A and B are shown apart, each in its own frame.
Chain A
Amino acid sequence: MRGAGTFTGRAWRVAAKAALVVALAGSALAADAPSTRVPLPGVTAPAEGTCVEDTEFMRRNHMRLLVHQRDRTVHEGIRTEKHSLANCVSCHAGSKTGRVTGSKDAFCEGCHRYAAVKLDCFECHADRPAATASAAAPPAGGPK
Chain B
Amino acid sequence: MSRVDQGRRQILAWGAAMAGVALAPGVTLFDLAHGRAPTEPASSKVRWGMLVDLNKCASDCDACVSACDKENGLPTEKTATSAQWIRKVELKDMRGQVRSLPMMCQHCAEPPCVDVCPTGASFKRADGIVLVDRHTCIGCRYCMMACPYKARSFVHEPTTGQRPEVPRGKGCVESCTLCVHRIDRGGIPACVEACAATGRQAILFGNLNDPESEIAKRVASYATTAVRADLRLDPGVRYVGL
Binding site for B on A (CB under 8 A): 70, 72, 74-80, 86, 89, 123-126, 129-130, 133-134, 136-143
- Contact between chains at B38 and A137 (CB < 8 Å): no
Q: In whole angstroms, how far apart are the Cα atoms of A123 and B162 in the complex?
A: 9
Task: Report A-chain residues with C-beta under 8 Å of the C-beta of B158.
Answer: 123, 141
Q: Do B123 and A75 touch across chains, with their CB atoms under 8 A apart? A: yes
Q: Complex Cα distance A143/B79, Å?
A: 7
B164 touches A89 (CB 8 A): yes
- Docked Cα-Cα span, A133 to B73, in Å, equals 10
Give A140 Cβ to nearest chain B Cβ, in Å: 5
List A contacts of B156 (CB < 8 A).
143
Contact A79 B161 (CB under 8 A): no
Given contacts A76-B41, A124-B172, contact A140 B164 (CB under 8 A): no
Expressed in whole angstroms, the Cα–Cα distance for A143 and B126 within the complex equals 35
> Please, how many angstroms separate the alpha-carbon atoms of A123 and B156 in the complex?
13
Q: Known: A74-B135, A80-B39. Is A141-B155 also a contact (CB below 8 A)?
A: yes
Interface of B is mostly: loop
Pairs of residues from A and B, 7 with the lowest C-beta to C-beta distance, nearest first: A142-B75, A124-B169, A137-B161, A76-B41, A142-B77, A141-B159, A77-B42
Interface size for chain B: under 10, 10 to 19, 20 to 34, or 35 or more residues?
35 or more
Q: Which of B75, B181, B185 contacts A141 (CB 8 A)?
A: B75
Which residue in chain A gives the minimum CB-CB distance to B69? A139
Contact with A along B135-166 (1 / 0, CB 8 A): 10000000000000000000111111111110
Q: How far is the CB of B155 from chain A (nearest CB, A)?
A: 7
Identify 15 residue pairs between A and B in the complex whose beta-carbon atoms are under 8 Å apart, listed by A's number. Answer: A77-B41, A77-B184, A78-B38, A79-B184, A126-B162, A130-B164, A133-B164, A139-B162, A140-B161, A141-B83, A141-B158, A141-B161, A142-B79, A142-B157, A143-B77
Closest chain-B Cβ to A135's Cβ sits at a distance in Å of 10
**Most chain A C-beta atoms within 10 Å of own C-beta, residue among B38, B83, B164:** B164
